[in-house]
Chain A
């Protein structure tokens, strides 16, 4: 993911005179840590989001002429559009995905193609103890930002690279998005019905997972630096993170030399290890509504049959033992589907769970947001106001700590919103110097 041509256009960022939006001292275990954040797209932005949520001053560095993709993706209030139907000239402050990814961060604009922009970035790095980026390998180095240079500027710095393929190796400059990482790492191949194209992933799973790996890496490095006083350079390849997630199928290949390019693989919703049956996703009342059911042993089966009212078909000898049920899943699934089809997904879920049978409604975002009592109990989603978007919901952290609270101080920065604060109060420039940098196209 390389940075393309940058214009020399240089208006100063929107000056929002809005006291609640002014950066303030942060709470949380990471307070006092400043991050010079060159990340963009999904992986990098989600990775540094966790730092921002828990107290770090994450300063997102953006390029006016090369908008961060989540600013451009068409997720707007009251204007449903799919990818491919983007507005060619969107308002960069309107993007909902950007708001979700970059809340609690500060935002500045720096033109890295300009020598004065690079000089400014170095000033910011010198005042930071963590530097993050997720370009393809080589982009930061072209700006002179090697680990050695970063250490000269900030001796204890942690320098984290979060690319698709890693910093070394013949494909290190390859471009990747989540779906590319999923394809290359094998995660797509192992997902789908047998003997046809993979169904793979319906989202950039590896944007999230590689981001979580990168968050953990940054936290590990911070924890270790607290003890040793030493920084580190981190090189995480999303493809390698993906391979590490393949699970037992990979060891089956490695240990038993059993290829996954074989008839009957992948297994769809069926579970071979352990031999669960019924195990699948069954139709429910309503349009495109489904329930997942997983029966692992005889005790589960007896309870399921009881809940269904002991239908005659369940006494069929084909369904007597777990082995029998596993062997006769087509027939079993057909019968079970007849039972689920007239019921709602949540009705089936609760009937089964209350009897100790593993089942879950296949929930969509409306279910999660509007009716899921578990999500509500944990206050998983929260709201913040945004000057352009207005009040909006955000995905919170799925962890409840007894001693730590997430510090939600502000929605995502407008483009260049914190130029004045960061360049004057953090870096010590005068307002005149900032105006001059703007006029020169450096910010």
Chain B
């Protein structure tokens, strides 16, 4: 890859990745790479990847090329259809032979069924990096267990911290396939460490990323509370799981929208800013009394403080709470719905959304990469490939090598 990287090039320019992914963890990993310049060749079976058959669909019309699930996680890749026949397997081997990275989500039993042996591949291709992103890792007693986003978040720990104050309600899965996303983030970093190591040694390697272990280290406070005071945290509505139940941090505003505001009682400056703000609206009641400048007094009277804050926010709209609060140095955020984001002036000023080129000429705004570097311009969004869109081109490029008989 190094030969083609120029001054303004995105970081993965010239990197060739063969992707055998059947879940959002692997697909998102490949998308990170494609978005920043890699040639990600997505190998699909004749019926297409599972995500192509998963909704929602553009225009609510199911089809090979209309899945928004597929679009989300496969933008910017190329699609090659290979079947499980001998010629399909030979083509896969030939693709791998030319790749920097083989990205797979196959569990050990699935690897065997697909006839893929990582050790053999690494022996045959010493510069190859095999990036394996699996539910539980390639080894260990659960290596062949299945996962899903819900099941991954459950077994990995984060789910136990998420839900409502009412514990008769089960823990609730946060939205957006975040279990898979956490695995993808570690896969991305793991690949980068292996690429940097390869720059120094010329050698590839196996990178075994476990979604389960990725989630088991991504629960923020749950492990430290077990490591140190050896207590378990309890889930609480939209705020930090803690050893004890704490005061709500979501406040309803006059426009029936929610804001998040966690008052950190121990911090003097935010406390003073809040009281001043409430006082300016004539709603501080007794909070201006001098004894409230003492942390212990605030802690002892937190219920009363909380009641007054609830009333205060209920009398203003969420936009005022957000911007006036922030102006006064208070960390307040509105609970925005996805549709609100397209009108957000801050995101607009940063040109975060950009049009996705489409066949029908309709302009759809999608997020650009959050990776903003001064060394390369923000790459424009690209569509996901149609099923087998690049098969002819990719196999055509291989035909000479296949004719010579690439060793497996």
Structural contact, B375 and A230, CB atoms closer than 8 A: yes
Structural contact, B197 and A282, CB atoms closer than 8 A: no
Q: Give the shortest distance, in Å, between B300 (CB) and chain A (any CB).
A: 11
- The interface residues of chain B lying within 8 Å CB-to-CB of A288 are 167
- The interface residues of chain A lying within 8 Å CB-to-CB of B138 are 400
Q: How far is the CA of A414 from the CA of B147 in the complex (A)?
A: 41
Q: How far is the CA of A19 from the CA of B226 in the complex (A)?
A: 30
Q: How far is the CA of A400 from the CA of B136 in the complex (A)?
A: 12
Residue of A171, A280, A296, A395 near B326 (CB, 8 A) is A171
B254 within 8 A of A: no
Q: How far is the CA of A272 from the CA of B173 in the complex (A)?
A: 13
A:375-392 near B, CB below 8 Å: 375, 377-378, 380-381, 389, 392
Residue of A176, A205, A243, A266 near B352 (CB, 8 A) is A243
Q: Contacts A185-B336, A273-B55, A401-B190 hold; do A199 and B209 have CB atoms under 8 A apart?
A: no
Q: How far is the CA of A360 from the CA of B201 in the complex (A)?
A: 40
Structural contact, B56 and A227, CB atoms closer than 8 A: no
Q: How far is the CA of A221 from the CA of B142 in the complex (A)?
A: 36
- The interface residues of chain B lying within 8 Å CB-to-CB of A190 are 174-176, 337-338
Structural contact, B225 and A75, CB atoms closer than 8 A: yes
Q: Give the shortest distance, in Å, between B332 (CB) and chain A (any CB).
A: 7
A254 within 8 A of B: yes
Q: Contacts A240-B347, A363-B156 hold; do A202 and B163 have CB atoms under 8 A apart?
A: yes
Structural contact, A82 and B213, CB atoms closer than 8 A: no
Q: How far is the CA of A231 from the CA of B231 in the complex (A)?
A: 44
Structural contact, A83 and B246, CB atoms closer than 8 A: yes
Structural contact, B189 and A212, CB atoms closer than 8 A: yes
- The interface residues of chain B lying within 8 Å CB-to-CB of A244 are 367, 369-370
A42 within 8 A of B: yes
Residue of B136, B208, B346 near A374 (CB, 8 A) is B136
Structural contact, A187 and B174, CB atoms closer than 8 A: yes
Q: Contacts A83-B246, A169-B346, A281-B171 hold; do A365 and B326 have CB atoms under 8 A apart?
A: no
Q: How far is the CA of A369 from the CA of B167 in the complex (A)?
A: 23
Listed residue (A175, A184, A226, A268) with the most chain B CB atoms within 10 angstroms of its CB: A184
Structural contact, B224 and A100, CB atoms closer than 8 A: yes
Q: How far is the CA of A373 from the CA of B137 in the complex (A)?
A: 12
Q: Give the shortest distance, in Å, between A94 (CB) and chain B (any CB).
A: 9
Structural contact, A82 and B154, CB atoms closer than 8 A: no
- The interface residues of chain B lying within 8 Å CB-to-CB of A221 are 11, 373, 375
Structural contact, B339 and A260, CB atoms closer than 8 A: yes
Q: How far is the CA of A1 from the CA of B337 in the complex (A)?
A: 25
Interface residues on A, range: 35 or more
Q: Contacts A168-B349, A358-B148 hold; do A176 and B333 have CB atoms under 8 A apart?
A: yes
Give the nearest-CB partner of A362 in chain B: B154
A:250-308 near B, CB below 8 Å: 250-256, 258-261, 266-269, 271-274, 276, 279-283, 288, 290-294, 296
The 8 A CB mask of A105-135 against B (1 = contact, 0 = none) is: 0000000000000000000000000000000
Structural contact, B237 and A272, CB atoms closer than 8 A: no
The 8 A CB mask of B112-138 against A (1 = contact, 0 = none) is: 000000000010000000000000111
- The interface residues of chain A lying within 8 Å CB-to-CB of B314 are none
Q: How far is the CA of A399 from the CA of B182 in the complex (A)?
A: 12
Q: Give the shortest distance, in Å, between A237 (CB) and chain B (any CB).
A: 7
Q: How many residues of B contact A (CB 8 A)?
A: 163
Q: How far is the CA of A364 from the CA of B231 in the complex (A)?
A: 10
Q: How far is the CA of A208 from the CA of B222 in the complex (A)?
A: 13
Structural contact, A363 and B241, CB atoms closer than 8 A: no
Structural contact, A222 and B59, CB atoms closer than 8 A: no
Structural contact, B349 and A80, CB atoms closer than 8 A: no
Q: Contacts A240-B370, A362-B154, A392-B228 hold; do A261 and B339 have CB atoms under 8 A apart?
A: yes
The 8 A CB mask of A390-418 against B (1 = contact, 0 = none) is: 00111111111111100000000000000
Give the nearest-CB partner of A87 in chain B: B266
- The interface residues of chain A lying within 8 Å CB-to-CB of B170 are 269, 280-283, 290, 362
Structural contact, B157 and A80, CB atoms closer than 8 A: no
- The interface residues of chain B lying within 8 Å CB-to-CB of A377 are 137, 139-141
Give the nearest-CB partner of B119 in chain A: A402
Q: How far is the CA of A170 from the CA of B337 in the complex (A)?
A: 20
Q: How far is the CA of A200 from the CA of B190 in the complex (A)?
A: 28
- The interface residues of chain A lying within 8 Å CB-to-CB of B228 are 75-77, 96, 389, 392
B240 within 8 A of A: yes
Residue of B187, B189, B299, B337 near A189 (CB, 8 A) is B337
Q: How far is the CA of A274 from the CA of B156 in the complex (A)?
A: 22
B:238-296 near A, CB below 8 Å: 238-244, 246-247, 249-250, 252, 258-260, 262, 264-266, 269, 295-296
B:168-201 near A, CB below 8 Å: 169-178, 181-182, 185-190, 192-197, 199-201
Q: Give the shortest distance, in Å, between A163 (CB) and chain B (any CB).
A: 12
Structural contact, B186 and A399, CB atoms closer than 8 A: yes
Structural contact, B220 and A402, CB atoms closer than 8 A: no
B386 within 8 A of A: no
Structural contact, B266 and A86, CB atoms closer than 8 A: yes
Structural contact, A177 and B331, CB atoms closer than 8 A: yes
Give the nearest-CB partner of B53 in chain A: A274
A142 within 8 A of B: no
A:194-244 near B, CB below 8 Å: 197-205, 207-209, 212-213, 215-217, 219-224, 226-228, 230-237, 239-241, 243-244
Q: Give the shortest distance, in Å, between B309 (CB) and chain A (any CB).
A: 14
Structural contact, A219 and B189, CB atoms closer than 8 A: yes
Surface stretch bound by A, among B41-49, B67-75, B91-99, B388-396: B67-75
Structural contact, B185 and A212, CB atoms closer than 8 A: yes
Structural contact, B367 and A83, CB atoms closer than 8 A: no
Structural contact, A260 and B53, CB atoms closer than 8 A: no
Structural contact, A183 and B364, CB atoms closer than 8 A: no
- The interface residues of chain A lying within 8 Å CB-to-CB of B182 are 208-209, 212
Q: How far is the CA of A282 from the CA of B68 in the complex (A)?
A: 29
| Complex A-B: 22 CB contacts under 8 Å | A30-B193, A80-B225, A83-B264, A170-B349, A180-B332, A186-B336, A199-B172, A200-B250, A200-B260, A226-B196, A233-B373, A237-B370, A243-B370, A245-B181, A290-B170, A360-B152, A365-B226, A366-B232, A377-B141, A394-B227, A401-B206, A404-B197
7 closest pairs, A vs B, by CB? A398-B213, A202-B161, A200-B238, A190-B175, A377-B140, A360-B155, A292-B154
If A223-B11, A393-B223 are given as contacts, then 4 extra A-B residue pairs at C-beta distance below 8 Å, sorted by A number, are A200-B162, A269-B173, A392-B227, A404-B205
